[in-house]
Structure 1
Amino acid sequence: METAVKLFFSSPKFAVAGASQNTSKFGYRVLAWYHTHGLPVTPINPTSSEISLPSEAYSTVASPSALENPSQTALSVITPPNVTRKILEEAKSVGIQAVWLQPGSFDEEDLEYAKANFKAAVGGPGGRGGEGWCVLVDGESALKAVKRDWKSQKL
């Protein structure tokens, strides 16, 4: 799974399916995490045109197919399990290479689908938290590992 995590964070762009304006929801918190870490992120929310963080407002797109460069975008999925498969199928159809399924966003079939259809699929048991791989818990160390790899390759 560590290899998938590194591949995920090697993407030049990121998107959050299930991004929310509600500050108590994980969709908001994960979007804010990408923003705080200076990563280029696009929120995906079919019912809202904009999501505002304290220091920036982000225009949303309605679905993965509306992303500017989906093949260059890693996708965090924070949707209810009954929506996740549709998001994954659309992500695959537009060329997204890496997905991160947040805890609670998928069932076992969705995880297997992601592992079979994407170059990198993060999710399920593991990570540092007790609920499985989570951007909010595991993202920091993974991002640092990718940056170390970039620096060593540039030497």
Structure 2
Amino acid sequence: MTTTKDAAQDFLAHHRVAVTGVSHAPKGHGSNAVYTFLRDHGYEVFAVNPTVEQVEGDPAYPNLQSVPGGVEAVVIATAPERAQQTMEEAADCGVRTVWMHRSIGGGSVSPEAAAWGRAHGMTVIDGGCPLMFHPEGDRGHRMMCRLFTWTGKVPRSV
């Protein structure tokens, strides 16, 4: 087993990251917060949303396969029912590192999709948020990380 902290550091070492579920109406969407934070911190980040052509002033892509040049890591920030399909797309694209976003509530975590990814050799962080582990993450995210780790919403290991 790998600690979530170590898996998060590995995830954040990738610089071409897709974020699924980025909304054209960003208010209150965790996916948009992750997308803009990574973009603003030097990552080459790609919004994946099949229903729009643009989000946050950037092009959106209908799926992982359509991202030019591919990606190294994926944040799943859609309904958990869509996580399996995204996990399979990521595997087909050669992605080995996936983060299922979760803050308050169930988030995007699908235990079945996480198990599938692990069975196919992927590192799957099934809870929390990249902003909780990024060295430049805000104080609120660091506090949520401690609380959610304590309550089990952020796993201690993956």
User: Equivalent residue for 2:133?
Assistant: 138
Matched, 1:85 2:84: yes
Q: 1 CA distance for matches of 2:78 and 2:135?
A: 22
The unaligned stretches of length 5 or more in structure 2 are 138-158
Letter in 2 for 1:86: Q
User: Does the 8 Å contact 1:99/1:118 carry over to 2?
Assistant: no
User: Equivalent residue for 2:72?
Assistant: 73
Give the alignment partner of residue 48 of structure 1, picking from 35, 52, 71: 52
CA gap of 1:14–1:114, structure 2 versus 1, over 3 A, is same
What is the deviation of 1:98?
0.9
**Deviations for 1:30-83, whole angstroms, at most 9, x for unmatched residues?**
11111221211010010110112xxxx21011001112233x421011010111
CA gap of 1:58–1:120, structure 2 versus 1, over 3 A, is same
| RMSD over aligned Cα atoms | 1.9
Matched, 1:38 2:52: no
**SS of corresponding position for 2:46:** strand
The unaligned stretches of length 5 or more in structure 1 are 125-132, 143-155
Give the alignment partner of residue 6 of structure 1, picking from 9, 30, 33: 9
User: Does the 8 Å contact 1:19/1:44 carry over to 2?
Assistant: yes
User: Equivalent residue for 1:99?
Assistant: 98
Q: Which runs of 4+ in 1 moved over 6 A?
A: none
**SS of corresponding position for 1:140:** coil
Q: How high is the sequence identity, in percent, across the aligned residues? A: 22
Aligned residue pair count: 129
What is the TM-score when the length of structure 2 is the normalising length? 0.73
CA gap of 1:118–1:68, structure 2 versus 1, over 3 A, is farther
What is the TM-score when the length of structure 1 is the normalising length? 0.74
User: Does the 8 Å contact 2:23/2:29 carry over to 1?
Assistant: yes
What is the deviation of 1:20?
1.0
